[in-house]
């Protein structure tokens, strides 16, 4: 439809020169922007994105390694001072401007458009390897439908047990040899693992089906994928606390060691966990909130989602260490029985000193008694033909508690000790599958929403764009299904997102707090939400958050410079893990990942600068990018939106800028305009 440009409201008039538009306009009325069918769908989507696999295996590991309860207190402090304010900033920016990450930062300042593109690149990198983890979960879930579980016992070879399995454990052998068939180093590529390739294909098909209608289909899937993990966690918690050793595991987990507060790297790890737990910088938070009506209380949402995220991490930690406490006590108790039986046998063939324990009554010797005896007498014994070892509950708790080692080795081993182990195994890996999918939907939204908002052609072919994105993700993801693929997953997880996202969030915060103006932004939010917000946000956004993020960036860079990048490999001959340095070509790859993810930020600024030097206005420079229609589905009445100025029809700068308005039946309708 072509017509003259609709007039602006009387008190909000701006001349066309100020808007950077020509006299003649082509006005195209777009289909109203999609919106969530209910607040519940939106809330579940935000929770599903922020609560991911890291809550189940990364947070418990960090608590365990960094002071237990002391780390949790530090985490809460950083969550309140940095995490929640930045999370609220992204929610508010997306909801007020109603664009994806590219549109939001272009709207605030065209020279900052690269921030949005960097977010898209990082989301793409994360999606590539994250879906591989989902594929692993599918493989393990499928392998759980048999009794006994295939990782419960070592396979036989000839007349004996497979050497690699006997030297490690059945769960470690199944993970490294049966699931991954891993090579000894990243230099040895090996052929494709066809079973994992099939599982990766299944994972991408599920993601595509869940997103084929955008948030309309994703929102419905979230009712299950976001809620089901909590049902499973509660089931595991109820089962876990009844197990022998659960109390020891939980006590070991939460015992506070306050001295860790003096370690800079602990602060770095806590800040990084806050950063990734809330999904800051990905653009997914902005994408999801952009589908909200403008009068949604995003301030309350910021606290609610952050609170649910933290409580989920604590719940998962309780479950993990209740189960691992049971596993550790079972292993340590078996160790005590084995050693006591060896002492009893040795007593019949060798002259032993008077022992401080009664080796003839194995059942009477508790773990605590044995540990005390070993410390006083046992470690001094040297009996030919026998190896009397320490049996430490604490040492067992330290084994295999990080990342994939927790989920696919330690936890799977613990579940083999459960009655009805296949049932619990299916539940656990179905939970991991849903945790991964809900995060994956948000990650893909961080790619698809800003690009379809920005490019009209993509917006007209959303389904095709979604399918092509998933197909490209699968094809590139084949590099992770090689026998050395696990090492590339580790590389991407460690280096492709952390530094670029920290830089992105620093620029986001500075652009709102200093370029657009914190006072101006708070005033816009006051009009949008209908009430003033605490002025403390001004100081958090302007000073506390940038300083904290710069400190995190500095600590991360310092760690990379001082420590040569390494990865953990599996040595088949030794049947054990070993830490290896990345070869030169791998260093080049991970450096390229970091640079490619960050590069759009300076490129966007240089592009803007060159256009300015050529005499082209910022509006003309962006004319080729057509922002999406921002009509609210509910057509919010004018009376519901407080004015920004003296006139009744004057609205927030964030709502006015780069948009034209047409008043019809007392409602605001937005139209796209582009110069002829």
CA distance 25 to 154: 74
Q: How many residues does the chain have?
A: 676
Contact residues for 593 (Cβ-Cβ < 8 A; gap 6+):
125, 491, 492, 495, 496
Tokens of 387: 């190896």
Tokens 């709502």 belong to residue: 655
Tokens of 45: 């989507």
Tokens of 57: 């295996």
Phi, psi (rounded to 5 degrees) for 357: -125, 155
- Is 180 labelled a binding residue? no
Tokens of 40: 């519940």
CA distance 578 to 354: 41
CA distance 305 to 284: 14
Phi, psi (rounded to 5 degrees) for 576: -155, 165
Which helix (H) or strand (E) segment is 26 a member of? strand 25-28
Distances (CA, A) of 664 to 3, 228, 645, 660, 661: 16, 44, 21, 13, 10
Question: Which 3-state string (H, E, C) describes 202-265?
Answer: HHHHHHHHHHCCCHHHHHHHHHHHCCHHHHHHHHHHHHHCCCCCHHHHHHHHHCCCHHHHHCHH
Burial of 14 (0-12, 13-18, 19+ CB in 10 A): exposed
- Is 356 labelled a binding residue? no
Burial of 217 (0-12, 13-18, 19+ CB in 10 A): middle
Tokens of 270: 């806590």
Is residue 283 within 8 Å of 116, Cβ to Cβ? yes
CA distance 316 to 51: 11
Give the relative orientation of helices 264-277 and 69-78 as an angle to the nearest 10 degrees.
Answer: 60
Tokens of 499: 């530094």
CA distance 78 to 73: 9
Best CA proximity match to 246, nearest among 172, 312, 173, 326:
326
- Is 103 labelled a binding residue? no
CA distance 302 to 278: 10
Is residue 545 within 8 Å of 86, Cβ to Cβ? yes
CA distance 377 to 343: 13
- Is 435 labelled a binding residue? yes
CA distance 569 to 577: 6
- Is 665 labelled a binding residue? no
CA distance 225 to 218: 10
CA distance 322 to 239: 9
CA distance 228 to 234: 10
Phi, psi (rounded to 5 degrees) for 579: -90, 125
Q: What is the CB neighbour count within 10 angstroms for residue 530?
A: 12
**Largest separation between any pair of C-alpha atoms in the chain:** 107
CA distance 404 to 408: 6
- Name the binding residues for Na(+): 48, 51, 55, 309, 435
- Name the binding residues: 48, 51, 55, 309, 435
């Amino acid at each position: 439809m072509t017509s003259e440009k609709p007039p602006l409201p009387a008190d909000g008039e701006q001349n066309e020169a100020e808007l950077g538009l020509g006299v003649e306009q082509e006005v195209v009325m777009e289909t109203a922007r999609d919106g969530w069918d209910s607040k519940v769908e939106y809330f579940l989507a935000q929770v599903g994105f922020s609560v991911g696999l890291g809550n189940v295996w990364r947070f418990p590991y960090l608590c365990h390694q960094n002071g237990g309860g002391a780390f949790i207190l530090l985490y809460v402090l950083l969550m309140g001072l940095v995490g929640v304010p930045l999370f609220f900033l992204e929610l508010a920016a997306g909801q007020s401007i109603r664009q994806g990450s590219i549109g939001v930062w272009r709207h605030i300042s065209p020279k900052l458009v690269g921030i949005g593109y960097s977010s898209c690149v990082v989301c793409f990198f994360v999606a590539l390897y994250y879906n591989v983890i989902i594929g692993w979960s599918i493989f393990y879930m499928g392998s759980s439908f048999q009794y006994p579980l295939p990782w419960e016992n070592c396979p036989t070879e000839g007349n004996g047990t497979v050497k690699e399995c006997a030297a490690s454990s059945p769960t470690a052998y199944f993970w490294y040899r049966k699931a991954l068939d891993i090579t000894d180093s990243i230099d040895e590529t090996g052929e494709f693992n066809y079973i994992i390739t099939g599982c990766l294909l299944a994972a991408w098909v599920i993601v595509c089906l869940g997103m084929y209608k955008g948030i309309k289909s994703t929102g419905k899937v979230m009712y299950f994928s976001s809620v089901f993990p909590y049902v499973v966690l509660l089931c595991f918690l109820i089962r876990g606390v009844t197990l022998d050793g659960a109390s020891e595991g939980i006590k070991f987990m939460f015992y506070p060691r306050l001295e860790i507060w003096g370690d800079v790297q602990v602060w770095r790890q806590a800040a990084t966990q806050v950063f990734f737990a809330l999904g800051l910088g990905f653009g997914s938070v902005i994408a999801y909130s952009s589908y909200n009506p403008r009068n949604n209380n995003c301030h309350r949402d910021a606290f609610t989602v952050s609170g649910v995220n933290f409580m989920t991490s604590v719940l998962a930690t309780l479950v993990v260490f209740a189960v691992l406490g049971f596993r550790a006590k079972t292993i340590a108790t078996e160790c005590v029985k084995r050693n006591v039986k060896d002492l009893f046998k040795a007593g019949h063939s060798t002259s032993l000193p008077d022992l401080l324990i009664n080796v003839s009554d194995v059942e009477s010797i508790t773990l605590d008694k044995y540990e005390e005896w070993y410390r006083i007498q046992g470690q001094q014994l040297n009996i030919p033909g026998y190896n009397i070892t320490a049996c430490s509950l604490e040492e067992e708790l330290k084994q295999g508690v990080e990342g994939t080692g927790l989920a696919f080795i330690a936890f799977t081993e613990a579940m083999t000790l459960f009655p009805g182990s296949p049932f619990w195994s299916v539940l656990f890996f179905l939970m991991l599958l849903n945790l991964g999918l809900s995060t994956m939907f948000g990650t893909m939204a961080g790619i698809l929403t800003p690009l379809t908002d920005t490019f009209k052609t993509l917006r007209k072919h959303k389904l095709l764009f979604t399918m092509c994105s998933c197909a490209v993700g699968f094809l590139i993801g084949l590099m992770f299904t090689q026998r050395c693929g696990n090492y590339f997953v580790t590389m991407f997880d460690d280096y492709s997102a952390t530094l670029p996202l920290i830089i992105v969030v620093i620029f986001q915060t500075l652009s709102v707090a200093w370029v657009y103006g914190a006072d101006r932004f708070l005033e816009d939010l006051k009009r949008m939400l209908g009430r003033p917000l605490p002025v403390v946000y001004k100081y958090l956004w302007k000073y506390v958050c940038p300083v904290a993020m710069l400190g995190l960036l500095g600590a991360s860079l310092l760690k990379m410079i001082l420590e040569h990048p390494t990865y953990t490999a599996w040595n088949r001959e030794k049947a054990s893990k070993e830490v290896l340095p990345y070869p030169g070509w791998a260093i080049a790859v991970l450096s390229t990942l970091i640079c490619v993810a960050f590069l759009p930020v300076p490129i966007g600024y240089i592009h803007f600068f060159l256009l300015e030097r050529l005499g082209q206005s910022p509006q003309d420079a962006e004319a080729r990018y057509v922002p999406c229609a921002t009509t609210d589905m509910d057509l919010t009445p004018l009376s519901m939106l407080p004015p920004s100025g003296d006139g009744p029809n004057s609205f927030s700068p964030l709502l006015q800028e780069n948009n034209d308005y047409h008043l019809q039946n007392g409602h605001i309708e937005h139209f796209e305009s582009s110069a002829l």
